[in-house]
Chains A and B, each alone.
Chain A
């Protein structure tokens, strides 16, 4: 499904005054496109995903899906949170079935669908496990299965692999690309990691420091499946990195610097290697 973000802005009113998280963002995403969003910490990437998910309302502008304004939350746009956000009181199986239950899918069908997606993320034999018994990577995979089970047209992923080790992340990159190719979903993927963006995206969109504007875009034409250590990926990542680095420095100078995390400096370290 086609997604249009038109002149969207978001200003938060808080006790310490108004914070403009997003200045104006305009972005068109083709149906079935995989778009990666990059930008310095605190620039408003999560805010944008929340707006698209309908969890927050934009202050300005509008968001359209296939030409129609999005309303509240809807199961045609499902978010995968950085911390998985699984329900610990439910088994893995029940977590995956949760959304199906909410939208009133009959019970026998729920089971079939949930099993299918659990198998897709290679967790079939963990359906009876509870969340506290899973590793971080497994939790993220359950969250992906839980979102996919609703068969949303748009998948919103907010740094879903941020907390994982490199090996697990590479594995999930492979799985995600396979799933995306099999299901033809439109995916918006926020990340701090430039190489991750290049490996996954058809397009990489870089935001400026807060208030977010879209600063630059790259189209990634590399053949799939892509490997994170391939030369083509590394080269493009380095190019993007340079742009981002300048911006991080600006955000550092303007200093809300508490939001400027070590993560970023670390990322620059990683990626410039």
Chain B
């Protein structure tokens, strides 16, 4: 079953590349609108060799790591508070729920007005991208803490912050991880959007540059890099983490 699936997916991709390459060879469209896959590959290789892509990736990764880190810390803290305090939930909780429907790039105008054309503005958009998803997921995790764990913990003398840190937080971890995974993909999208609009080093800037130079192969090469990083982080970081936690927490059966 699995093998058939892999073959199908691979076959489709190879066919797609073949059609693309033959269209390019036939020169149906001019090169600057419709680059060949080989051309894109060359651009990719060149971009890594001369270091421009490496610098772009490094600056984007730095932003997302800082921004995502901030949202993770804030989101978990907010979620813990919202999940346990009824009055916070009725006030801030309602606000969070409303704001969640706002695409995070819509925070850019505010960010620009508050922070000017700066790194901080981009970071703000990234943080807002992931924050609400992580907050809501943490809150849900806290609210769904099995009451049995709480009773057992109280019974064994757990109180106050120890109850939060050693029982409620770990009990909510599977849900928090799901929120982080979602938050990561939101943050990555917001970052790319913000980098497109506000030009400084980064993958978004490489995209914009490709457009300005009418270099379609660069545009596509950068798109491939963006997809690859998004997928890689999801598959190599979040998926294994999530499945390990789910197994250990006994949620897989």
- Number of B residues contacting the other chain (C-beta, 8 Å)? 21
Contact B155 A78 (CB under 8 A): yes
Q: B156 near A98 (CB under 8 angstroms)?
A: yes
- Besides the known contacts A87-B153, A102-B153, 6 further A-B residue pairs in the complex with CB atoms under 8 A apart: A55-B154, A85-B149, A88-B248, A89-B171, A89-B249, A132-B247
Interface bracket on A: 20 to 34
Contacts of A102 in B (CB 8 A): 153, 156-159, 162
Task: Tell yes or no: A73 within 8 A of B by CB.
Answer: yes
**Which B residues are CB-close (under 8 A) to A75?**
156-157
| A contact set with B: CB distance below 8 Å | 53, 55, 73-75, 78-79, 81, 83, 85-90, 98-99, 101-103, 130-132, 146-147, 150
* Smallest CB separation, B2 vs chain A (Å): 25
CB-nearest residue of chain A to B156: A99
Q: How many A-B residue pairs have CB under 8 A?
A: 65
Contact with A along B216-253 (1 / 0, CB 8 A): 00000000000000000000000000000001111000
* Interface hub of A73, A81, A89, A131 (most chain B Cβ within 10 A): A89
Would you call the interface of chain B mostly helix, strand, loop, or mixed? helix
Q: What 1/0 mask marks residues of chain B from 145 to 176 whose CB sits below 8 Å from any chain A CB?
A: 00011011111111100100011001101000
Would you call B155 and A132 a contact (CB within 8 A)?
no
Residue of B nearest to A133 (CB): B248
| Closest B residue by C-beta to A75 | B157
**B151 to A, closest residue via Cβ:** A55
Residues of B at under 8 Å CB distance from A?
148-149, 151-159, 162, 166-167, 170-171, 173, 247-250
Given contacts A55-B151, A85-B149, A102-B162, contact A78 B156 (CB under 8 A): yes
**For B153, what are the chain A residues with a Cβ–Cβ distance below 8 Å?**
87, 98, 102
One of B156, B166, B167, B248 near A146 (C-beta < 8 A): B156
Question: How many angstroms between the C-alpha atoms of A49 and B170 in the bound complex?
Answer: 27
Q: Which of A73, A87, A147 lies in contact with B154, CB distance below 8 A?
A: A73
Collect the chain B residues with CB atoms within 8 Å of residue A78's CB: 155-156
Q: What residue of chain A has the Cβ atom nearest to residue B253's Cβ?
A: A132
CA distance A87 to B157 in the complex (A): 14
Which one of B148, B153, B154, B156 has the greatest number of beta carbons of chain A within 10 Å?
Answer: B156
Complexed CA–CA distance, A55 and B170 (Å)? 22
Given contacts A102-B158, A146-B156, A150-B157, contact A85 B249 (CB under 8 A): no
* CB-CB nearest in chain A for B251: A88
| Structural contact, A81 and B152, CB atoms closer than 8 A | yes
B156 to chain A, nearest CB (A): 4
Which A-B residue pairs are the 6 nearest by beta carbons? A99-B156, A102-B157, A85-B152, A89-B170, A75-B157, A103-B157
